[in-house]
């Protein structure tokens, strides 16, 4: 009888282990599927949280974060945009694109403070949009409080997030008659990284406007170690 009970218990344990492994595989497949969605603005908050949680555990899988990560509506145009401003036409100014997700962002920057305390404060700037003629860019500024966890085997200093919040976004450079207005934002944070969603409007004095929504995943250790140029593995 005892032998039968022991076999039954062993079978139950093996079944639970198998169910747990299957559940983990399903969660992993779901997270990877979500990361491959080109426009992350179409995801729900719970779906973004799944991505952030998964990348906390497997940051190297950020390689699956594909797509332009931008949503753009058609412009609302009230009149012709052919007038020249200095040496550039309105068409020159309006050639705006999202900054490529998988490219090094050398317009990014990282500023650290409070080195002598247990918590380091970090200001991180990243490029949201850029004018393809090199006239101007739109940047977003984020604020972190992080813990220094020390060096890793990959020659990186590791950090974990205590808190994070969005600061503001702005346009910088020769933007001519264009202006930028942020309309809303959202931050989904984990322990190792955070996803930022920033939406805004580029306007022209004649009343024309474009709506943009950009987003970016940031692994805090990679961001700090590369001065913001790279934000995932």
Each residue's pLDDT tens digit, 76-108: 333 334 444 558 999 999 999 999 877 899 999
Q: What does the chain come to in residues?
A: 233
Per-residue pLDDT tens digits for 156-199 = 889 999 999 999 999 999 999 999 999 999 999 999 999 999 99
Residue whose token pair is 């305390």: 117
Per-residue pLDDT tens digits for 6-28 = 554 545 545 555 555 666 788 89
Average of per-residue pLDDT across 197-202: 96
Per-residue pLDDT tens digits for 111-150 = 999 876 789 999 999 999 999 999 999 999 999 999 998 8
Q: What would the two tokens of residue 155 be?
A: 């020659």
pLDDT band at 233 (very low <50, low <70, confident <90, very high): confident
Question: What pLDDT score does 207 carry?
Answer: 85
Instruction: Delimit the domains of the chain by residue range.
Output: 36-225
Asked if pLDDT for residue 2 goes beyond 60, the answer is: no
Average of per-residue pLDDT across 48-69: 86
Question: What pLDDT score does 69 carry?
Answer: 44
Question: What pLDDT score does 5 carry?
Answer: 54
Q: What would the two tokens of residue 41 be?
A: 């603005």
Question: What pLDDT score does 72 carry?
Answer: 44
What secondary structure does DSSP assign to the chain, as a single string? -HHHHHHHHHHHHHHHHHHHHHHHHHHHHHHHHHHT-S-GGGS-HHHHHHHHHHHHH-GGGGGG--S--EEEPPPB-SS----EETTEEHHHHT-EEEPPTTS--TT-EEEEE-TTSSEEEEEEEEEEEEETTSSEEEEEEEEEEEEEEEE-TTS-EEEEEEEEEEEEEEEEE--TT-EEEEEEEEEEE-SSEEEEEEEEEEE-TTS-EEEEEEEEEEEHHHHHHTTTS----
Mean pLDDT score of the chain, rounded to an integer?
85
């Amino acid at each position: 009888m005892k032998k039968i009970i022991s076999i039954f218990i062993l079978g139950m344990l093996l079944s639970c282990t198998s169910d747990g492994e299957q559940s983990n595989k399903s969660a992993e497949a779901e997270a990877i599927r979500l990361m491959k969605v080109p426009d992350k603005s179409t995801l729900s908050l719970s779906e973004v949280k799944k991505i952030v949680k998964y990348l906390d555990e497997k940051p190297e899988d950020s390689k699956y974060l594909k797509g332009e990560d931008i949503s753009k509506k058609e412009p609302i145009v009230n009149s012709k945009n052919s007038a020249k401003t200095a040496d550039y036409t309105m068409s020159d100014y309006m050639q705006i694109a999202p900054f490529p997700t998988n490219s090094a962002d050398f317009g990014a920057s990282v500023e650290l403070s409070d080195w002598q305390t247990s918590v380091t404060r970090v200001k991180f700037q990243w490029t949201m949009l850029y004018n393809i003629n090199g006239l101007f860019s739109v940047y977003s500024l984020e604020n972190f409080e992080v813990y220094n966890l020390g060096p890793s085997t990959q020659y990186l200093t590791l950090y974990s997030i205590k808190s994070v919040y969005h600061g503001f976004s702005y346009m910088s450079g020769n933007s001519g008659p264009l202006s930028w207005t942020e309309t809303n934002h959202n931050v989904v944070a984990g322990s190792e990284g955070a996803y930022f969603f920033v939406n805004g409007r580029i306007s022209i004095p004649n009343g024309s406007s474009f709506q943009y929504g950009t987003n970016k995943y940031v692994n805090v250790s990679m961001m700090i170690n590369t001065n913001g140029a790279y934000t995932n593995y």
